[in-house]
A and B are shown apart, each in its own frame.
Chain A
Amino acid sequence: MEEGVLRVMEKPNEKQILLFYCMESEDLARKVAEQSPLIQLQSINWRSFDDGFPNLFINNAQYIRGQHVAFLASFSSPAVIFEQLSVIFALPRLFVASFTLVLPFFPTGSFERMEEEGDVATAFTMARILSNIPISRGGPTSLVIYDIHALQERFYFSDHVLPLFETGIPLLKQRLHQLPDTDNVVVAFPDDGAWKRFHKLLDHFPMVVCAKVREGNKRIVRLKEGNPAGCHVVIVDDLVQSGGTLIECQKVLAAHGASKVSAYVTHSVFPKRSWERFIHKNDGSEKAFTYFWTTDSCPLTVKAIGNRAPFEILSLAGSIAEALQI
């Protein structure tokens, strides 16, 4: 079909990017490279010494001189941080033209404040470590992060890095427009935090806002504003851990008459395989979530979930490929 195809005018100075990646992120790296002939995958030897410390080698290190270089990282657990950090600290000093760190999911993001003296805000530790990336000939490192948990965290970084805060919401919007019942979609936020983060990006949809309310010793989810009756409600949040909050929201929305409930989170953390409680069972039992959309920012989870309903993976590859051109 020829009509409707847009021709993108190629900018004369579009950058060639050499993309390194950690082992966990190989699938996403390949998808990013497929988006554009300008993005070329490079490799690192990831080995360990007997004492557990990393034994790393950047292949073809001299070739990257004068090139724009990027590293696709994934800090899925504290244990993998040091090896990736060693590469991240080394690459900018190999006479590259510029360095970009793509860290789709910034972990520790929900531990970013001190409510009492003695609290240790590990998001600050993480931001500090990343702020210490050496500058390269291209100046400060660009740091690409999707849907960071707290909006204030942009100020945790020093001037030696340039954080670029992206979002997965456009992927959701595109997907929602493809649904047959797209006119009946209502967006729900599980709490005010999620509303603050996302309502501006989704303001053309009717909205519902939930809230956690204290009743005695318990905290229960209530509907604060909006009306889900008869609609396909899509709960939107930045991340999911065990999924408890989402499940409670779904119950309240269903009780208020939502005809279908789906969910979108950018980051599926799902520790200890907690995604299993969402899987559709083939025993005819009622399906709580019609769709559960998430991105491939957390590669280990995405690998474990595979293609199982209701999960659908919306890939960040296209968005990352574009961000690398900035």
Chain B
Amino acid sequence: MLAVKHMSPAPPLHCSFSAPIQTLKPTLTLPLIPFLKKDKFRFRCELTSFGKPQKWAVEFDSTTIPNPRPVLMASTATLTSSPRNAKKVCLFYCAETKALAERIAAESDAIELRSITWRTFEDGFPNLFISNAQGIRGQHVAFLASFSSPGVIFEQLSVIYALPKLFISSFTLVLPFFPTGTSERMEEEGDIATAFTLARILSNIPISRGGPTSLVTFDIHALQERFYFGDNILPCFDSGIPLLKARLQQLPDSDNISIAFPDDGAWKRFHKQLQHFPTIVCAKVREGNQRIVRIKEGDPKGRHVVIVDDLVQSGGTLIECQKVLASHGAAKISAYVTHGIFPNRSWQRFGEDKGGCPANGLTYFWITDSCPLTVKEVKNKPPFEVLSLARSIAATLQI
């Protein structure tokens, strides 16, 4: 007999499984969360008797209650982490991030998408409604934001400020790309560091029952920015580099890869994560009025060089690096940036090198899906390849 313990409101159900399940003597290790799927109750349970946790979906036809007949569905993909610790997360998102949100939810059964009605009043100010607000009480809630331009900040901020106060058990803001990150210092009095403005705004997110909001962001531009945030927010700085490393290992010439950093800043940010690759460091040097890119250390000759940086704007720096590396004998050149900002369609300057001409084109240009508007434009356009942050975000939501 399988005693099924689950969350209210349904009463406990007792049901018997026919062989072979009976012989396995499954034990339940999770409180089950039933959710209605039309006329059926669907339970997910974990069978641990054989040491390797497996998730099965069990569907009960409620028309046969009080003796429901369970039908075992195919096992869902095993999670690498023990489902014992999986916390269910309600994931909200904005229009721009819908595709990424769907990918994140596909990574884990514990993540459920939720919706918001995004409308505008005639005067341009947002008219927002959080559907089923009472349903998120006591739940872990996350919001997947994207501040692609100043104009979309206010509407997302209104939701971000409202969610923590709806009696949720914790709140996580996932902001894969933190814009303004490059405007983070005052070189002279009068400079305005807009990164400080944005950090301040985010630091003011109300705390929830779970304490301070967790803020997940990838490859923030300046490492000092972590200190711009107040104590009511817990920044969690993640990186897209593991995605790059995994991709590089799949390449046929994976043992001929060298990593190039366009400047010392990039080297500081990333060299520790890429230590096992030979390294080339470039630098911008002043020659008269001009600034030109030179190779400071390392040798690209005959190598497949991958230029790595946190973000790309117009691409000018990358292109100059590419030229210098090509003129020093690089066999192939690729690029990786976590954030493909590419204002004014500047991605169009990057052509594909189909072989032998690294000065004029790249073999690969990897970006993540942190900037959804760009992803839409470069999808399926070589040399661009999009590496998705979905799995990384799904894992971070479990923290």
**A and B are interacting partners:** yes
Chain A interface residues toward B at CB < 8 A: 49-62, 76-83, 85-87, 89-90, 94, 107-108, 111, 117-122, 124-125, 128-129, 132, 241-242, 269, 271-272, 274
- What is the distance, in angstroms, from A41's C-beta to the closest C-beta of chain B? 16
Provide the residues of chain B in CB contact with A83, threshold 8 Å: 150
Provide the residues of chain B in CB contact with A121, threshold 8 Å: 162
Selected interface stretch from B138-146, B193-201, B213-221, B383-391: B193-201
Q: B2 in the interface, Cβ–Cβ < 8 Å? A: no
Provide the residues of chain B in CB contact with A129, threshold 8 Å: 157, 201, 204
Picked from B121, B132, B133, B161, the residue with its CB within 8 Å of the CB of A125 is B161
| Given A61-B190, A271-B124: A52 touches B150 (CB 8 Å cut-off) | yes
Provide the residues of chain A in CB contact with B197, threshold 8 Å: 82, 85-86, 89-90
**In the A-B complex, the 6 residue pairs with the closest CB atoms:** A79-B151, A61-B190, A118-B133, A78-B154, A82-B150, A120-B128
In the bound assembly, the distance between CA atoms of A29 and B337 in angstroms comes to 44
Known: A51-B149, A81-B150, A119-B130. 4 other contacts (CB 8 A): A58-B189, A62-B189, A117-B166, A271-B122
| Given A118-B132, A272-B122: A55 touches B341 (CB 8 Å cut-off) | no
Q: B39 in the interface, Cβ–Cβ < 8 Å? A: no
Q: Across the interface, name the chain A residue whose C-beta is closest to B179.
A: A53
Residue pair A50, B125 in contact (C-beta under 8 Å): no
- What is the distance, in angstroms, from B123's C-beta to the closest C-beta of chain A? 4
Name the residue among A53, A59, A61, A242 with the largest chain B CB count within 10 angstroms: A53
Name the residue among A62, A107, A120, A241 with the largest chain B CB count within 10 angstroms: A120
| Given A52-B149, A53-B150, A132-B201: A108 touches B130 (CB 8 Å cut-off) | no
Provide the residues of chain A in CB contact with B130, threshold 8 Å: 117-120
- What is the distance, in angstroms, from B56's C-beta to the closest C-beta of chain A? 34
Q: Across the interface, name the chain A residue whose C-beta is closest to B167.
A: A117
Provide the residues of chain A in CB contact with B152, threshold 8 Å: 78
Residue pair B179, A107 in contact (C-beta under 8 Å): no
In the bound assembly, the distance between CA atoms of A242 and B121 in angstroms comes to 11
- What is the distance, in angstroms, from A99's C-beta to the closest C-beta of chain B? 15
Picked from B131, B161, B179, B193, the residue with its CB within 8 Å of the CB of A124 is B161
Q: B75 in the interface, Cβ–Cβ < 8 Å? A: no
Q: Which secondary structure characterizes the binding site on chain A?
A: mixed
Provide the residues of chain B in CB contact with A59, threshold 8 Å: 190
Residue pair A107, B189 in contact (C-beta under 8 Å): no
In the bound assembly, the distance between CA atoms of A132 and B194 in angstroms comes to 15
Interchain Cβ contacts under 8 Å between A and B, 10 examples: A49-B183, A51-B149, A58-B190, A79-B149, A85-B197, A89-B197, A90-B196, A90-B197, A271-B124, A274-B122
Residue pair B122, A242 in contact (C-beta under 8 Å): yes
Q: B329 in the interface, Cβ–Cβ < 8 Å? A: no
Residue pair B157, A125 in contact (C-beta under 8 Å): yes
Residue pair A117, B190 in contact (C-beta under 8 Å): no
Q: Across the interface, name the chain A residue whose C-beta is closest to B342.
A: A51
Residue pair A53, B180 in contact (C-beta under 8 Å): yes
Provide the residues of chain A in CB contact with B183, threshold 8 Å: 49, 53, 55
In the bound assembly, the distance between CA atoms of A87 and B121 in angstroms comes to 27
Q: Across the interface, name the chain B residue whose C-beta is closest to A131.
A: B204
Q: B34 in the interface, Cβ–Cβ < 8 Å? A: no
Q: B134 in the interface, Cβ–Cβ < 8 Å? A: yes
Provide the residues of chain B in CB contact with A54, threshold 8 Å: 150, 192, 194
Q: Across the interface, name the chain B residue whose C-beta is closest to A274.
A: B122
Residue pair B204, A107 in contact (C-beta under 8 Å): no
Provide the residues of chain B in CB contact with A125, threshold 8 Å: 154, 157-158, 161-162
In the bound assembly, the distance between CA atoms of A77 and B152 in angstroms comes to 11
Residue pair A122, B128 in contact (C-beta under 8 Å): yes
Provide the residues of chain A in CB contact with B194, threshold 8 Å: 53-54, 56, 82, 86
Q: B102 in the interface, Cβ–Cβ < 8 Å? A: no
B contact residues, total (Cβ < 8 Å): 49
Provide the residues of chain B in CB contact with A57, threshold 8 Å: 190-192
Name the residue among A57, A76, A86, A94 with the largest chain B CB count within 10 angstroms: A86
Residue pair B129, A107 in contact (C-beta under 8 Å): no
In the bound assembly, the distance between CA atoms of A59 and B151 in angstroms comes to 25
Residue pair A94, B123 in contact (C-beta under 8 Å): no
Q: Across the interface, name the chain B residue whose C-beta is closest to A125.
A: B158
Residue pair A118, B123 in contact (C-beta under 8 Å): no
In the bound assembly, the distance between CA atoms of A121 and B341 in angstroms comes to 32
Residue pair B129, A122 in contact (C-beta under 8 Å): no
Q: B97 in the interface, Cβ–Cβ < 8 Å? A: no
Residue pair B150, A79 in contact (C-beta under 8 Å): yes
- What is the distance, in angstroms, from B336's C-beta to the closest C-beta of chain A? 19
In the bound assembly, the distance between CA atoms of A227 and B75 in angstroms comes to 76
Q: B8 in the interface, Cβ–Cβ < 8 Å? A: no
Provide the residues of chain B in CB contact with A77, threshold 8 Å: 123-125, 151
Residue pair B201, A241 in contact (C-beta under 8 Å): no
Q: B127 in the interface, Cβ–Cβ < 8 Å? A: yes
| Given A89-B196, A117-B134: A107 touches B343 (CB 8 Å cut-off) | no
Name the residue among B179, B194, B313 with the largest chain A CB count within 10 angstroms: B194
In the bound assembly, the distance between CA atoms of A90 and B123 in angstroms comes to 28
In the bound assembly, the distance between CA atoms of A211 and B194 in angstroms comes to 47
| Given A53-B183, A120-B162, A132-B200: A94 touches B189 (CB 8 Å cut-off) | yes
Residue pair B125, A78 in contact (C-beta under 8 Å): yes
- What is the distance, in angstroms, from A206's C-beta to the closest C-beta of chain B? 33
Q: Across the interface, name the chain A residue whose C-beta is closest to B134.
A: A117
Provide the residues of chain B in CB contact with A53, threshold 8 Å: 149-150, 179-180, 183, 194
Residue pair B126, A122 in contact (C-beta under 8 Å): yes
| Given A53-B179, A117-B134, A118-B131: A78 touches B153 (CB 8 Å cut-off) | yes
- What is the distance, in angstroms, from B378's C-beta to the closest C-beta of chain A? 16
Residue pair B204, A128 in contact (C-beta under 8 Å): yes
Name the residue among B158, B179, B191, B341 with the largest chain A CB count within 10 angstroms: B158
Provide the residues of chain B in CB contact with A269, threshold 8 Å: 123
Q: B289 in the interface, Cβ–Cβ < 8 Å? A: no
Picked from A50, A86, A132, the residue with its CB within 8 Å of the CB of B313 is A50
Provide the residues of chain A in CB contact with B104, threshold 8 Å: none
Residue pair A51, B190 in contact (C-beta under 8 Å): no
Q: B250 in the interface, Cβ–Cβ < 8 Å? A: no
Q: Across the interface, name the chain B residue whose C-beta is closest to A45.
A: B190
- What is the distance, in angstroms, from A77's C-beta to the closest C-beta of chain B? 5
Residue pair A120, B129 in contact (C-beta under 8 Å): yes
